[in-house]
Amino acid sequence: MARLVVLAVLAALLTPATPAPAQPSAATRAELPLAGRVVVIDPGHQLGNSRHRAEINQPVDAGNGQRKPCNTTGTATNGGFPEATFVWRVARALTRRLRALGAEVVLTRTTNSRDDWGPCVDVRGRLGNAGFRGWDRPADLKLSIHGDGSLSGGHGFHVIVAAKPDGRAASTSFGRTVRGALHDRGFRDATYTAGGRGFTYRSDLATLNLSEVPTAMVELGNMRSAADARVMASAKGQRRYAAALAAAVRRHLR
């Protein structure tokens, strides 16, 4: 018996290992639908913002001659599930989908940690602009992901784009594509804002005002709504949101 065991071990050691799956070639990657595209994903807030009040309360440029606090803490469900964590998980799932389609994805934050804060909204707004932080070309799109905290008891999502006339058409087109893709996945327009249309313009958000590329912000649901919160806190719901947003990016860039 001992001899058989030894022979089995030797056979296993001498058997060639199964080769790892071949990585896609450069030519294959170039054929992917979003090859060569650069998408900035902005997961709102940061889990540690509440521990760094002094830092996030410092005023920064918000565009349109305004100054606003660097950042805010974000909201949470009534059960305590943070917006920062919700949007981080959706952003990560979205990133995986977009990279599988060939896109280069840049996240405005790369952690979801109670030890970290920011980045400030002016940085979030400018990331992706040509010339900012050494970028030699503008990103193709930017999508800022949030969860709302309305206490009205309303439910549903809404998309926001900048009210500025310069570049508004491209952002409006992208925003409406985001709205349509969310509808396709069964999500419905917010009942508590934007007149129930799920789409609005704002002139006070640095993330939108300071961006020079087509940009949309989406409040994916009202985290204070029990119905929305159940979806937003679930892995299945987060994947549904990510699938809808990936479809919107692909649809807009194709």
DSSP letters spanning 113-169: -TT-----HHHHHHTTSTTGGG-SS--SEEEEEEEE--SS----BEEEEE--STTHH
Count of structural domains, the chain: 1
Whichever domain contains 113, its CATH number is 3.40.630.40
Give Cα separations from 168 to 68, 130, 182 (angstroms): 22, 18, 21
Q: Which two tokens stand for residue 64?
A: 């349109």
User: What pLDDT is recorded for position 60?
Assistant: 98
In a domain, 169, yes or no: yes
Q: Which two tokens stand for residue 22?
A: 């071949």
User: What pLDDT is recorded for position 153?
Assistant: 83
Give the residue numbers spanning the domain of 217: 33-253
pLDDT lower than 70: segments of the chain: 1-27
Distance CA 244, CA 67 (A): 33
CB half-sphere exposure, 198, CA atoms < 13 A: 18
In a domain, 95, yes or no: yes
Q: Which two tokens stand for residue 176?
A: 């409406």
Q: Give the pTM.
A: 0.89
User: What pLDDT is recorded for position 24?
Assistant: 54
Distance CA 69, CA 55 (A): 9
User: What pLDDT is recorded for position 190?
Assistant: 97
Q: Which two tokens stand for residue 57?
A: 């309360």
In a domain, 24, yes or no: no
Active-site annotation holds for 219: yes
In a domain, 16, yes or no: no
